[in-house]
Structure 1
Amino acid sequence: MKGLIFVFAMILVLGSCKETTKNLMPGISGKINQVLIIADKNLWDGNVGDTIKAFFGQEQDGLPQAEPVFDVLNLPEMYFDKNMKGHRNVLQVVISPSIDSAYVQYVDSPWAKTQKYIKIAAPDKKTFFKLFDENKLTILGTYAKAERDRLVAIYKKTADSHIFNLFKNKYDILLYCPTGYYVNKDTTNFVWMSSETTKNSKGIIFFTEKYEHESQFNNVIILDRVNEELQKYIPGPRKDSYMALDLEVPYTAVQYQYNGHYAILFRGLWTVVNDFMAGPYELNVVLDQEHQRVIYMMGYVYYPNEEKRDMMKQVDAVLNTMVIDFKDKKEVKK
């Protein structure tokens, strides 16, 4: 019996040590939306590096000007020391004839909290290109989700209590909107919030309607419906001016599951009718079957003549803090 108690005690101690070790890990380093590529110069300066740069450098959709999905930074393996091993997103490329079997390895937080480390090992370049092509979308998705999750975790800790309680009590939704956002308009079923500086603006627009027919998820009907609400509630700076989705420019629309709920994600450009303001937007249209309603949650950015990718990622993260199904109905943020 004493032996069993000793073993049980040791399990608790070891488990506690593991948790303590995890908590003592340093935080990540590096700029947001950046991937550190560990590859020697002969690879980086050739077609291997060109392939990686072209893939991560593809244009982020939904922006008015060309910006890459991710920025990349190269570092030869000999310089990948303790000062660099804490980078938020690491992709290591090793090509050597000594490698018997090619592989792609995914590791969470090897040297820093929330870190994503991926290694591609291949015996030759031909095998690398095949492996990279087969896994590149998963690799990109891993880094993109990690960046969003990091922001969501921060926003949940810094959520504005007034906005949180407004959505919970009035709309039966949890929304972790960070401090710095203020409610500009709150009507029966419409909320407009924004975070303003002298140089730029980020905004969140929310409204709902009763779900009656599947035609409500027709792309054209959705965009027209949103424009009705924008014209009604979001005025522009000049007389007779108002916000609108720009239907004259291309947009993307993707069907997917938002935490188990049928949804469509739109990305495109908004404009101000009778004025010159414009910028990118992201729109989530989600079917809430339990409450028989359609939820419209839109984020936008205004930052004239400047890059907007990172700000849109911040808005995207706010949209993705929304929780429709939650158990603790009594939760209130103070």
Structure 2
Amino acid sequence: MRNRIFFRTAVLLLLSALVLTACNRKPKDREQYLPNITGNAGEVLVVINKGYWEGELGSTLREILAGEYPFLPQREAVFKLFNATPGGFTGSYLLHRNIVIVNVSPEVDTTGIRMTRNSWAKPQVIVTVSATTPEEASELISDNRELIVNTIEQAERDRLIASSKKYEDKEVRMAVTENIGGSPYFPTGFTMKKNTPEFMWISQETTYVNQGILIFKFPYTDSSQLTPEYLKNKLHDLWQANVPGMRENSYMTFNKVIDPGFNNIEYNGQTMVEMRGLWEVENDYMGGPFVCHIFPDPARENIIILNAFVYAPKYDKRKYLRQVESIIYSFDWK
């Protein structure tokens, strides 16, 4: 009996020491002991009172977080949502990858939106909305819709980039760097399909899914080459010359119904033009979504086009597009 009591006391003392040690660690030290996140890519857990979820506040959240993802052949939501009540937000729910917590109470002291990371798991992102009324919460969410969506999108992108860097194919990256002076990080499974001084084609192909990165390089002369009209015409010519279809006189081209969209973006210190749209094959029945990052090299001698695309006729495309888009976002000059 005495030995048993001694053993239980020793275990309790050891657990107490571990808890105290964890509490005294710096935040970065603490993160290494957190469990890994759960949930599938593109999922968001919304923690909210059931009545609010079924009312106007829930409608606002669904409109913003589960709205239509742009430039896909079929309708897909930006994120897949599921919800838990505050009382049920325990256990495995705490480990979810993307969490939106809606805290509505007259006792809320500070209203607003707060972003935190790695509270219960890693790499995790938590968006907390605090308001005194559901109407105030709805207004906060509407006014900050881009911030909320972009925060979760960036968290998903960061996870994919980290995975690409961890499991990269160094030979592919070295070949691209040798050609254009920098490269994205390509995860294992992507292989070089074509390699010329002005054009490279890297892809991962399975029975029903083709994820590709096309890299174009051409001389830079002036800023007019970065306008939407010029870039659309230029990419059409580059596709026609370099990306043939399966049939005679077939080649990659733009969807004839939906024009591509353009944005000027800055990421990782690089200013670039984003072109996003739908591609198809002239004289054939293939097609899918694409996204391009377009920018001059540091010496302003050449323009680089990083063109990510997906062909997955049997499946939803959002997941596959996010994967290849994260690859071109990982581009780094060397």
- Work out the CA distance in 1 between the residues paired with 2:47 and 2:314: 33
* Deviation, structure 1 residue 312: 0.3
Q: Please name the residue that 2:149 is paired with.
A: 140
- Identity among equivalent positions (%) equals 29
Please state whether the residue corresponding to 1:106 is helix, strand or coil.
Answer: strand
82, 88, 92: which one pairs with 1:83? Answer: 92
Q: Please name the residue that 2:19 is paired with.
A: none
94, 110, 118: which one pairs with 1:101? Answer: 110
Alignment of 1:61-76 (within 5 A): 61-76=70-85
138, 163, 168: which one pairs with 1:154? Answer: 163
Q: Please name the residue that 2:294 is paired with.
A: 285
Q: Please name the residue that 2:36 is paired with.
A: 27
* Deviation, structure 1 residue 77: 1.0
* Deviation, structure 1 residue 242: 1.3
- Work out the CA distance in 1 between the residues paired with 2:260 and 2:327: 21
- Work out the CA distance in 2 between the residues paired with 1:73 and 1:143: 15
Structure 2: which amino acid aligns with 1:313? Answer: R
Please state whether the residue corresponding to 2:91 is helix, strand or coil.
Answer: coil
* Deviation, structure 1 residue 276: 0.6
* Deviation, structure 1 residue 305: 4.3
* Deviation, structure 1 residue 179: 1.0
Consecutive unaligned residues of structure 1, counting only runs of 5 or more, are 1-12, 327-334
- Work out the CA distance in 1 between the residues paired with 2:152 and 2:194: 35
Judge conservation of contact 1:261–1:288 (CA < 8 Å) in 2. no
Structure 1: which amino acid aligns with 2:31? Answer: K
* Deviation, structure 1 residue 56: 1.0
Residue 163 (str. 1) matches residue 172 (str. 2): yes
Q: Would the alpha carbon gap of residues 317 and 283 (structure 1) be closer, same or farther in structure 2, given more than 3 Å must change?
A: same
Normalised by the length of structure 2, the TM-score is 0.89
205, 221, 225: which one pairs with 1:212? Answer: 221
Alignment of 1:227-266 (within 5 A): 227-266=236-275
Please state whether the residue corresponding to 1:300 is helix, strand or coil.
Answer: strand
* Deviation, structure 1 residue 175: 2.0
Structure 2: which amino acid aligns with 1:82? Answer: G
Consecutive unaligned residues of structure 2, counting only runs of 5 or more, are 1-21
* Deviation, structure 1 residue 134: 2.1
* Deviation, structure 1 residue 306: 2.4
Q: Would the alpha carbon gap of residues 249 and 14 (structure 1) be closer, same or farther in structure 2, given more than 3 Å must change?
A: closer
Judge conservation of contact 2:291–2:325 (CA < 8 Å) in 1. yes
- Work out the CA distance in 1 between the residues paired with 2:154 and 2:81: 17
* Deviation, structure 1 residue 96: 1.5
- Work out the CA distance in 2 between the residues paired with 1:267 and 1:198: 25
Q: What RMSD in Å do the two structures reach over aligned CA positions?
A: 1.8
* Deviation, structure 1 residue 34: 1.2
* Deviation, structure 1 residue 110: 0.4
Q: Please name the residue that 1:52 is paired with.
A: 61
Normalised by the length of structure 1, the TM-score is 0.89
